[in-house]
Amino acid sequence: MGRGRLRVLLGAAPGVGKTYAMLEEGRRLRDEGKDVVVAVVETHGRAATAALLDGLEVVPRRTVEHRGVTLTDLDLPAVLLRRPDLALVDELAHSNAPGLEHEKRWQDVDALLDAGIDVVSTVNIQHIESLNDVVEKITGVVQRETIPDGVLRAADQIEVVDLAPQALRDRLSGGYVYPAERIDAALSNYFRLGNLTALRELALLWLADEVDAALRLYRTEHGIDSTWEARERVVVTLTGGPEGETLIRRGARIAARSAGGQLLALHVASQDGLRGATPGALARQRALVEQLGGTFHQVVGDDVPRALVDFARGVNATQLVIGVSRRGRLAAALSGPGIGATVTREAGNIDVHIVNHSAAGGGFALPPVGGALTVRRQVVGFLLALVVGPLLTWLLVASRGEETIISDVLAYQLLVVVVALVGGVWPAVYAAVLSGLTIDFFFIEPFHTVTVAEPFHLLALVLYVVIACLVSFVVDRAARTTRAARRSAAESEVLATVAGSVMRGQDAVQALVDTAYRAFGTDGARLVAAGDVLAAHGDTGGAPSTTIAVGDDARLELFGPDLPASERRLLQVIAAQLEAALEHTDLAQVASEVDQLAALDRVRSALLSALSHDLRRPLTAATAAVSGLRSTAGHDGLSAEDRSELLRTADESLTSLAGLLTDLLDVSRLEAGVLAVARTPVEAVDAILPALDELALGPDRVELDLDLDVPAVLADPVLLERVVVNLLANAHRHAPPGTRVRLTTSALGASVEIRVVDHGPGIPTERREDVFVPFQRLGDTDNTTGLGLGLALSKGFVEGMGGRLTPEDTPGGGLTMVVSLPAVASGPAAVADAASEVAG
């Protein structure tokens, strides 16, 4: 028995028609003779979706009791026992009811697939784990039900059920998605046109990436390395030189000419790390690539053309953009074909664009003459040639014979090699020339002259000097490589120190300035922008010895000895990192301001949504009642009982409207800090009992556990009563049917605590602060529970009286709201002190 096949219908948002499409597919397969059952479906009250269930076998749901609430869910054992060919399972990311076989519905689906049952399921883009944070930024809504990406990618078939954003809003407005009372709030929040457009693009791009991954896998499995131009991919090669920005912008324009074009920037680093680009330029070019929507890549390889072509084929690139060589004509003639010619020859059917730029064709320059060894080693090399050379000559002359010329030459050759190993190129050249003249003077006839009688002997001397120079060059090159490797290791250590400082929580800008101070051994270092010192370390008095620009507006200043040119490369790295850190700081500040504006926008949207329902309902009822009374004034159309009912309706509606407006005014006063609080010694029971009377809550609905011996509290009696009313009303609204809310009082140190305990669903720890935000219902969408100001007002009232309002978990499940107020010590003197404190 093989594993079943999974087909997933992916939607950008609720209401696009995933469930409808799933049921249509089930009916089609049933008509084709396949055994199809509906394992679980969520119609959400949509008549058109429910109508498609006619004629399909539906497996009854499983009933689960949890904390006094009856829940229904997928009955996995029943479906496995039924063993259909195909099971329709809605909402793949759904969290199962507690006590079932699995925590998530996708785990149930996995069990069905293991049993050989094919499954068609549905999921929205906001439920994909890797996109959860992206969706939250777009919509402002946290999705708690998610599905791992690997589960979805393992599906045999994924289809996007697409619907234009405006068409979805039209469906929503027509009542085809949500009930009428939820339409306005949905349209003004989650289902805004911009949100839906972004979610739709996210769904299409996610599926496009999955298709692209499948294509790459197919090409890899079948050994296909030729380019398939299903999608334009433009690879721009960067050396870190000044031409980089020109190439990036050209590549971006090429990619933008085709829909879905992709820009990739590539830098090839050598395996020994010595052919490095200018770090600051490469960092700026990387930022430009990301700004243009591309991605930056780096590979290691000494054969640059081969590395470029291999990378391009690996990503199925269709275009390669490279710059004209910066070498001059003479350098190109001496070194052969450049990277551009080699890439063009090996690229095959990949189009190669060789772009001209201002840095192309630079003049020919000889390599630097200076050796890589220290001055001390060079001096030792010269001394070695001056001292050992004469001693070696004295020894060889004393033992000179007709057959010793070869051994004499090899001895001098050994001296030159030793001098090269010690002092490098110039001492070795000096030793080679000096030993060549010595050989000619003492060992080649005619003796004691520098005349060479045989041309062959002259050629031998020239070759001798050339070999000595080559050996010294190799030694010098090795020393240069060693020094560069040590330098790279030191730079890596410095950068690792910077990264470690930042990861440990240290300010990035200050960490980089501290690193500059320590790495270069300066007296001091500071970062200055617009005349202000952003960060400093050490002694920064006097004029700086070295200054380097950081971005457009800042500069890094070093104090003390002048910085040698060899240290500038690392300084450029630190400057580039500082520029990125400053940019990140600026972006964080802008993001903070945007977050504040977004928060105000959410509050405003919530307020408008709440006002559109909560204020309109009592206002409409009052208007209708008054209109009914006026229309029958002077007539006998209404009985006394009807008129009394209309008057009562108007009175209740206007009273409710007045309460809502009062809450709004209280919130305004709280936010403005002008709420008047008159604190006096108050018994807690004196605020609790009137609150119970106002809410008409009897012993069947509230359990009282009041400690009558607790001291009085210092509070405003009116505000304290409003706090208790709000907390009791909120607890009773969320308590399971048939359960009672518990209210207790107790003394704790210098405070008195009033606890309102319920056994409802509770509030997740990470969302507890959200319930104290004005106009926040924490997911309530019935629009019958007020403006969502109760807890916000309660917290403001309690803090205004010098107390605290904190939520806690109820043992066994639920939420406990704890009001903690300062206690008044017993005794007349203490009460008098409290009264005088309030008066003062």
pLDDT at 718: 77
| Distance (Å) of CA 165 to CA 11, 116, 198, 207, 357 | 12, 38, 9, 18, 45
251-260, 443-452, 464-473, 705-714: which has the highest mean pLDDT? 705-714
What 3-state DSSP class applies to 817? strand
- Tell me which residue of 711, 817, 723, 712 sits closest to 763, measured CA to CA: 817
Please give the span between the terminal C-alpha atoms of the chain, in angstroms, as a whole number: 85
The answer to whether domain 680-839 has CATH 3.40.1180.10 is no
Helix (H) or strand (E) holding 702: strand 702-705
- Tell me which residue of 511, 495, 485 sits closest to 573, measured CA to CA: 495
- Tell me which residue of 495, 447, 472, 504 sits closest to 385, measured CA to CA: 472
- Tell me which residue of 307, 299, 205, 294 sits closest to 247, measured CA to CA: 294
Spatial contact of 573 and 495, defined as CB atoms under 8 Å apart = yes
Phi, psi at 521, each rounded to 5°: 60, 35
Q: Rounded distance, CA 576 to CA 490, Å?
A: 18
| Lowest mean pLDDT across 217-221, 268-272, 446-450, 604-608 | 604-608
pLDDT at 785: 44
| Lowest mean pLDDT across 561-575, 601-615, 704-718 | 601-615
What does DSSP assign to residue 611?
I
Q: Annotate 612-647 with three-state secondary structure.
A: HHHHHHHHHHHHHHHHHHHHCCCCCCCCHHHHHHHH
- Tell me which residue of 284, 239, 248, 10 sits closest to 121, measured CA to CA: 10
Residue 839 has pLDDT above 50, yes or no: no
Residue 399 has pLDDT above 90, yes or no: no
What 3-state DSSP class applies to 258? coil
pLDDT at 258: 66
What percentage of the chain exceeds 90 in pLDDT?
Answer: 8
Residue 158 has pLDDT above 60, yes or no: yes
Residue 399 CB burial class (10 angstroms; 0-12, 13-18, ≥19): exposed
388 conformational bin, left if phi > 0, alpha if psi -120 to 50, beta if neither: alpha
Scan for tokens 């209708």, then name that residue: 624
Give the pairing type, strands 532-538 and 546-550. unpaired
Confidence of residue 837 (pLDDT cuts 50, 70, 90): very low
For the record, the structure tokens of 764 come out as 């997740």
Q: Give the contacts of 14 (CB within 8 A, at least 6 positions apart).
A: 44, 124, 177
| Lowest mean pLDDT across 1-5, 118-122, 226-230 | 226-230
Residue spans of the domains in the chain: they are 6-221, 233-355, 375-481, 618-672, 680-839
Could you write out the DSSP letters of every residue in 489-557? HHHHHHHHHHHHHHHTT--HHHHHHHHHHHHTT-SEEEEEETTEEEEEEE---S--SEEEEETTTEEEE
Of 632 and 58, which is predicted with more confidence? Answer: 58
Instruction: Tell me the average pLDDT across 137-141.
Output: 78
For the stretch 261-301, pLDDT in tens is: 788 898 887 654 444 556 667 778 888 888 888 888 887 77
Instruction: Tell me the average pLDDT across 407-421.
Output: 81
pLDDT at 576: 79
Residue 119 has pLDDT above 90, yes or no: yes
Helix (H) or strand (E) holding 798: helix 790-800
Instruction: Tell me the average pLDDT across 288-317.
Output: 82
Spatial contact of 124 and 42, defined as CB atoms under 8 Å apart = no
Residue 321 CB burial class (10 angstroms; 0-12, 13-18, ≥19): buried
Residue 611 has pLDDT above 60, yes or no: no
Q: State in words which class domain 6-221 has.
A: alpha beta
Spatial contact of 660 and 617, defined as CB atoms under 8 Å apart = no
Residue 840 has pLDDT above 50, yes or no: no
Residue 831 has pLDDT above 50, yes or no: no
Residue 363 has pLDDT above 60, yes or no: no
Residue 553 has a CB neighbour count (10 Å cut-off) of 10
What does DSSP assign to residue 36?
E
Q: What does pLDDT average to over the chain? A: 76
Angle between helix 180-188 and helix 165-173 axes, rounded to 10 deg: 150
Scan for tokens 């300084």, then name that residue: 571
Q: Give the contacts of 214 (CB within 8 A, at least 6 positions apart).
A: none
Residue 87 has pLDDT above 90, yes or no: yes
What 3-state DSSP class applies to 832? helix
Of 736 and 785, which is predicted with more confidence? Answer: 736
What percentage of the chain exceeds 70 in pLDDT?
Answer: 73
pLDDT at 787: 41
Q: Rounded distance, CA 106 to CA 378, Å?
A: 73
Confidence of residue 151 (pLDDT cuts 50, 70, 90): confident
Spatial contact of 708 and 689, defined as CB atoms under 8 Å apart = no
Common-topology check for domains 6-221 and 233-355: yes
Helices H, strands E: what count in the chain?
26, 24
Instruction: Tell me the average pLDDT across 58-69.
Output: 82
Cα–chain center distance at 219: 31
276-280, 351-355, 449-453, 762-766: which has the highest mean pLDDT? 351-355
Spatial contact of 276 and 287, defined as CB atoms under 8 Å apart = no
Instruction: Tell me the average pLDDT across 823-831.
Output: 58
Q: Give the contacts of 823 (CB within 8 A, at least 6 positions apart).
A: 710, 711, 712, 713, 714, 747, 750, 751, 752
| Lowest mean pLDDT across 53-62, 365-374, 424-433, 646-655 | 365-374
Confidence of residue 368 (pLDDT cuts 50, 70, 90): very low
pLDDT at 274: 41
Phi, psi at 15, each rounded to 5°: 95, 0
For the record, the structure tokens of 76 come out as 């996995």
| Lowest mean pLDDT across 120-124, 326-330, 463-467 | 326-330
Confidence of residue 155 (pLDDT cuts 50, 70, 90): confident
pLDDT at 729: 84
Q: Rounded distance, CA 332 to CA 360, Å?
A: 12
Residue 658 has pLDDT above 60, yes or no: yes
Q: Give the contacts of 526 (CB within 8 A, at least 6 positions apart).
A: 513, 533, 535, 536, 537, 540, 556, 557, 559
Q: Rounded distance, CA 773 to CA 500, Å?
A: 38
Instruction: Tell me the average pLDDT across 321-347.
Output: 66
Q: Give the contacts of 504 (CB within 8 A, at least 6 positions apart).
A: none
Radius of gyration of the chain (CA): 41
Residue 219 has a CB neighbour count (10 Å cut-off) of 17
Side chain identity, residue 220: T
Confidence of residue 833 (pLDDT cuts 50, 70, 90): very low
CATH superfamily entry for domain 233-355: HUPs (3.40.50.620)
695 conformational bin, left if phi > 0, alpha if psi -120 to 50, beta if neither: alpha
Facing residues of 702 across strands? 741
For the record, the structure tokens of 471 come out as 């050996």
Residue 250 has pLDDT above 50, yes or no: yes
What does DSSP assign to residue 104?
B
Spatial contact of 705 and 757, defined as CB atoms under 8 Å apart = no
